[in-house]
């Protein structure tokens, strides 16, 4: 019984991954052939084509539509002029030793959560990072830090707010959604984070 449940779960996960690949491919294909689409219009076209009504996949489609539309402008910004915003809910809330000030938490890379890996990867690439407390804190950081491009890791609501608000300042964005959202001990797929940190710098 347990095995049957596990197989069903794995099949569901494989289906979701497959759908996400299809969504991204279709977003890129529509973006290449049609001009002047907003993220919502682009997402709606893909949702219609793939008959998506699942909420998580709809949210993913909207955020990825923004990523696809912003990617060239984002890649035009040198890595040292980009910042990455990391949500503090990814911390190991019980063990975290990071001090906090107006710029958010300062990860000490104690290794108790994935943020140690993310901050190290950002530093290795010359990208400044901030560990923020939510959408409005993230916007304040952007106003003060004045980056030329912003990569945010966030739950859907914060990612949507952040991408739209930062977009109003004319700053290109990329976003990776949390794979498990919530107030504490959330999760993100590290491969996706690294892939976005690795987006090339085509400004030269």
The site for ligand SF4 (CB under 6 A) is made up of 91-92, 95-98, 107-113, 115-116
Length of the chain: 204
Q: Based on CB atoms, which residue is closest to ligand SF4, 98 or 176?
A: 98
Bridge partners of 173, per DSSP, are 150
Are the beta carbons of 128 and 83 closer than 8 angstroms? Answer: yes
Are the beta carbons of 53 and 175 closer than 8 angstroms? Answer: no
Are the beta carbons of 98 and 108 closer than 8 angstroms? Answer: yes
Q: Based on CB atoms, which residue is closest to ligand SF4, 59 or 92?
A: 92
Q: Based on CB atoms, which residue is closest to ligand SF4, 42 or 113?
A: 113
Quote the least distance from Cβ 92 to ligand SF4, whole Å.
4
Quote the least distance from Cβ 22 to ligand SF4, whole Å.
34
Name the token pair of 96. Answer: 């975290």
Q: Provide the 3-class DSSP secondary structure of residue 101.
A: strand
Quote the least distance from Cβ 104 to ligand SF4, whole Å.
11
Q: Is the dihedral of CA 142, 145, 146, 148 positive or negative?
A: negative
Q: Based on CB atoms, which residue is closest to ligand SF4, 75 or 158?
A: 158
Q: Based on CB atoms, which residue is closest to ligand SF4, 98 or 166?
A: 98
Element (H, E) at 51: none
Quote the least distance from Cβ 93 to ligand SF4, whole Å.
8
Quote the least distance from Cβ 138 to ligand SF4, whole Å.
16
């Amino acid at each position: 019984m347990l095995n049957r449940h596990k197989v069903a779960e794995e099949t569901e996960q494989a289906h979701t991954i497959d759908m996400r690949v299809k969504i991204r491919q279709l977003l890129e294909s529509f973006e290449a052939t049609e001009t002047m689409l907003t993220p919502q219009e682009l997402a709606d076209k893909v949702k219609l084509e793939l008959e998506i009504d699942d909420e998580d996949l709809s949210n993913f489609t909207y955020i990825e539509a923004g990523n696809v539309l912003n990617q060239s402008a984002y890649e035009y910004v040198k890595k040292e002029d980009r910042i990455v915003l990391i949500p503090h809910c990814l911390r190991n809330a019980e063990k975290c030793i990071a001090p906090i000030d107006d710029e958010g938490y300062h990860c000490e890379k104690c290794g108790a959560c994935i943020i140690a890996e993310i901050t190290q990867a950002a530093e290795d690439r010359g990208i400044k990072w901030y560990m923020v407390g939510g959408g409005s804190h993230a916007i304040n950081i952007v106003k003060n830090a004045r980056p030329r491009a912003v990569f945010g890791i966030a739950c859907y609501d914060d990612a949507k707010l952040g991408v739209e608000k930062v977009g109003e300042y004319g700053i290109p964005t990329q976003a990776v959604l949390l794979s498990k959202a919530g107030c504490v001990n959330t999760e993100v797929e590290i491969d996706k984070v690294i892939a976005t940190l690795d987006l090339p710098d085509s400004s030269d």
